[in-house]
Amino acid sequence: MGAMNLNRLERIAKTEVEALRLKLPREMAARAQELPVVAMARPTKAMVRDGIEPDLLGLFVGPNCVEGVESGDPLPPEILLFVENLWDYAEGDEELFREEVRVTYFHELGHYLGLEEGDLEDRGLE
């Protein structure tokens, strides 16, 4: 994985997520605070078997805030950030890694807020 270890990547990712949350509009920030963010190295083998791309950068799981628990989704809502994939995508550039964490987090937060891929693209968050 180069010169960066997983714990350091996780710390950087969490720092970037917290910094971005502070810049969000109040209502969006409140929604973001209730949504856990989990840093993982890469998608698990089980995730890949279920159709998740092994090089995916981030993933929102669970019901979005519009659907809520009534959706019947058994998973609690959370954002997964695949920090080793983000590091690889950034080609080992820490500043680019930080930027990709922010972009990926914001994209997945958009899913939680009920935006579809087309909505995210319209907002430049694809």
Q: Which class for 39: exposed (0-12), middle (13-18), buried (19 or more C-beta within 10 A)?
A: buried
The answer to whether residue 1 is domain-embedded is no
**Number of domains comprising the chain:** 1
Per-residue pLDDT 10s for the chain (126 aa) are: 455 799 999 999 999 999 999 998 888 888 899 899 999 999 999 999 999 999 999 999 988 887 765 666 667 899 999 999 999 999 999 999 999 999 999 999 988 988 776 665 665 555
Q: What is this structure's pTM?
A: 0.87
Show the domain range for 14: 6-122
The answer to whether residue 46 is domain-embedded is yes
The answer to whether residue 52 is domain-embedded is yes
d(CA 17, CA 101): 7
CATH for 34: 3.30.2010.20
